[in-house]
DNA sequence: GACCCGCGCAA
DNA sequence: TTGCGCG
DNA sequence: GGTC
């Protein structure tokens, strides 16, 4: 049987919870049943009552879209409804924020005539919500709060370089992408500590460990994410082997292959070495084969690169998680400094620093990356550096399938022949100015920066 | 049996 | 030019 | 390991 700790029984409802006093009716159209189940559970858990029909008592109706709403509920019924009609997104945002967020941007307007009920201006508001009142809980005001602002100041001094890319290494916050933090989207979402409950923990936890080990062993072609055993069964990418693994986990609650790996000395050592900044699977294996077994052993190894020596020396420092507010402070410090240095309007293309830094007045070393991009390709830099490898790969393949080549400097018509250089002169980059434009162009569904760890 | 991102760095 | 590590 |  599965381990007991996966308790599916939710805790008893909290009458003081953030949704207390709400009586809700959920429109199920267009919502994955799993998702719906989660929302119901959260609502009840946090004090709301869930009605099975749109009765008098209902104070809130939720729908995934205006389409779903009208598909399901007839017009006059809705017209008579006195309560609030909101997008599920409000729920998500509230859960993420840990408190009810303003309903303003999530209201599904009821227009008796109109077909497109979703308030047009709402979309604009949604898109801009971070730069205005929605930003309340973000203490740190961005110097540049939107791409538009950046553009304005930049049109006068064309060719200027924006220094906008202070990012802390991803090990500070494993659930967030390491990010070019000027992206305004991040300011509204940075404090999220909510992620949907994983209903298949018994499976995903084990596969999670397994995939980490495979990564450490240099086998990075086995990334997967099981959402549900049923969905997975007939999915492309699920062959016999995966089915067998899932079967074993479902029936025994464990995976023998994983248990072997976890006790294996070689696997454990290689995994440890791979945690050193600058050491990857190949080097880890090489070091293991040279007879090294501990980090101390490595200190006497003279074949290490500069980065690896540093990574080893500051192993504990680098592994220490960085409080988010310190990262935010650091960003402000760096923006100040950058604005002092850059005004000369150099044009050196993309400039990079991957290294260490200290918090003012402290010895502890942190990993930090700088990327400096010219304004006109800023969006591409953002996408490349906020997404993880999986997303980058998918976007690049998608671009390629459409006859383009995507990198962090732009989107170019594919130059057949010899690969085509990055930022290649000759083939003009497509003039896409925002991340959304790039996603749209590629036909890839929009992802907020914090959603880009696939 | 080839393919499974593309860059900078170091060798 | 290649292999590696990185995001 | 899985796909083309």
Q: Which residue is nearest to nucleotide B6 (CA to C1')?
A: A407
Options 3.40.50.11260, 3.40.630.30, 1.10.150.20, 3.40.630.10; CATH of A265-313: 1.10.150.20
Q: Which residue is nearest to nucleotide B10 (CA to C1')?
A: A305
d(CA A88, CA A108): 10
User: Looking at A63-77, A187-201, A368-382, which range is the least confident one?
Assistant: A187-201
CA of A296 to C1' of B2 (A): 41
CA of A136 to C1' of B10 (A): 48
d(CA A94, CA A117): 23
Q: Which two tokens stand for residue A207?
A: 């596969």
Q: Which residue is nearest to nucleotide B5 (CA to C1')?
A: A393
Q: Is the C-beta atom of A314 closer than 7 angstroms to strand C?
A: no
Q: Is the C-beta atom of A234 closer than 7 angstroms to strand D?
A: no
Q: Rounded to whole angstroms, what are the CA distances from A47 to A15, A17, A43, A98, A351?
A: 5, 5, 6, 14, 51
pLDDT of residue A222: 60
Question: Residues A60, A147, A245, A292: which is the catalytic one?
Answer: A245
Q: Is the C-beta atom of A222 closer than 7 angstroms to strand D?
A: yes
d(CA A336, CA A330): 10
pLDDT of residue A124: 31
pLDDT tens figures, A327-342: 888 888 888 887 787 6
Give the mean pLDDT of chain A.
Answer: 68
pLDDT at A29 over 80: no
A367's CB contacts (< 8 A; 6+ apart) are A168, A169, A171, A172, A277, A318, A354, A355, A356
CA of A429 to C1' of D2 (A): 34
pLDDT of residue A8: 30
A23-111 homologous superfamily: BRCT domain (3.40.50.10190)
pLDDT at A18 over 50: yes
Annotated catalytic residue A245: yes
Nucleotide nearest to A278 (CA to C1'): C5
- Band (A82; pLDDT cuts 50, 70, 90): confident
Strand D nucleotides, any atom under 7 Å from protein beta carbons: they are 1-4
pLDDT of residue A316: 92
User: How large a percentage of chain A has pLDDT more than 70?
Assistant: 65
- At residue A50, the 3 state secondary structure works out as strand
pLDDT of residue A138: 24
* Domain range summary for chain A, segments of one domain joined by +: 23-111, 218-263, 265-313, 324-372, 377-442
* Full DSSP string of A118-161: S-HHHHHHHHHGGGTGGGGG--S--SS-SHHHHHHHHHHSTT-E
Would you tell me the crossing angle of helices A389-401 and A435-442 to the nearest 10 degrees?
50
User: Looking at A38-52, A149-163, A253-267, A364-378, which range is the least confident one?
Assistant: A149-163
The class (CATH top level) of A377-442 is: alpha beta
ipTM of model: 0.75
pLDDT at A35 over 70: no
**Nearest to A295, CA basis, from A267, A268, A320, A315:** A315
Q: Is the C-beta atom of A47 closer than 7 angstroms to strand C?
A: no
DSSP character at residue A280: -
* Residue bearing tokens 């008796």: A112
Max mean pLDDT among A27-36, A125-134, A248-257 falls in A248-257
- The length of chain A in residues reads 454
Q: Which two tokens stand for residue A348?
A: 């050196």
Q: Which residue is nearest to nucleotide B11 (CA to C1')?
A: A305
pLDDT of residue A296: 92
pLDDT at A3 over 50: no
Q: What are phi and psi of A357, to 5 degrees?
A: -150, 170
* Residue bearing tokens 């170019």: A412
User: How large a percentage of chain A has pLDDT more than 90?
Assistant: 6
CA of A244 to C1' of C7 (A): 33
pLDDT of residue A237: 63
pLDDT of residue A400: 76
Q: Which residues pair with A365 in a beta bridge?
A: A358
Q: Do domains A23-111 and A377-442 have the same CATH topology?
A: no
pLDDT tens figures, A378-434: 888 888 888 777 788 788 877 877 778 788 888 887 665 434 445 444 566 778 888
Contact (Cβ atoms closer than 8 angstroms) between residue A26 and residue A50: yes
pLDDT at A9 over 60: no
pLDDT of residue A67: 67
């Amino acid at each position: 049987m599965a381990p007991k700790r996966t308790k599916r029984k939710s805790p008893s409802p909290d009458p003081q919870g953030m949704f207390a006093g709400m009586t809700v009716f959920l429109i199920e159209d267009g919502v994955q049943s799993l998702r719906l189940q989660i929302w119901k559970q959260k609502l009840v858990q946090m004090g709301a009552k869930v009605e099975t029909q749109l009765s008098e008592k209902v104070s809130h109706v939720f729908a995934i879209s205006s389409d779903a709403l009208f598909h399901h509920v007839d017009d006059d019924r809705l017209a008579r409804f006195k309560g609030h009609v909101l997008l599920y997104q409000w729920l998500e945002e509230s859960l993420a924020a840990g408190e009810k967020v303003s309903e303003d941007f999530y209201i599904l307007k009821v227009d008796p005539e109109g077909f497109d009920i979703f308030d047009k201006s709402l979309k604009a508001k949604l898109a801009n919500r971070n730069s205005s009142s929605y930003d309340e809980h973000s203490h740190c005001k961005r110097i540049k709060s939107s791409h538009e602002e950046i553009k304005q100041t930049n049109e006068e001094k064309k060719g200027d370089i924006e220094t906008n890319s202070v990012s802390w290494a991803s090990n500070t916050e494993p659930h967030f992408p390491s990010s070019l933090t000027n992206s305004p989207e991040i300011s509204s979402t940075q404090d999220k500590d909510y992620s949907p409950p994983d209903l298949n923990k018994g499976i995903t936890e084990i596969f999670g460990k397994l995939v980490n080990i495979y990564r450490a062993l240099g086998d990075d072609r086995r990334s997967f994410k099981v959402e549900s055993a049923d969905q997975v069964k007939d999915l492309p990418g699920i062959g016999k082997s995966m089915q067998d693994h899932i079967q074993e986990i479902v029936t025994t609650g464990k995976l023998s292959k994983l248990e072997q790996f976890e006790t294996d000395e070689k696997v454990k050592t290689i995994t440890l070495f791979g945690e050193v900044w600058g050491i990857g699977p190949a080097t880890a294996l090489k070091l293991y084969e040279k007879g090294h077994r501990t980090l101390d052993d490595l200190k006497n190894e003279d074949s290490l690169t500069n980065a690896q020596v540093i990574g080893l020396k500051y192993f504990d420092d680098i592994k220490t998680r960085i409080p988010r507010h310190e990262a935010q402070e650091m960003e402000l410090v760096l923006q100040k400094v950058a604005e002092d240095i850059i005004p000369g309007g150099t044009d050196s293309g993309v400039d990079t620093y991957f290294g260490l830094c200290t918090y003012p007045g402290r010895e502890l070393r942190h990993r930090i990356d700088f990327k400096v991009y010219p304004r006109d390709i800023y969006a591409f830099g953002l996408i490349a550096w906020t997404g993880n490898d999986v997303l980058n790969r998918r976007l690049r393949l998608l671009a390629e399938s459409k006859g383009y080549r995507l990198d962090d400097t732009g989107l170019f018509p594919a130059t057949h022949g010899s690969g085509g250089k990055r930022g290649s002169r000759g083939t003009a980059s497509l003039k896409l100015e925002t991340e959304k434009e790039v996603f749209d162009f590629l036909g890839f569904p929009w992802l907020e920066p914090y959603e880009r760890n696939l």
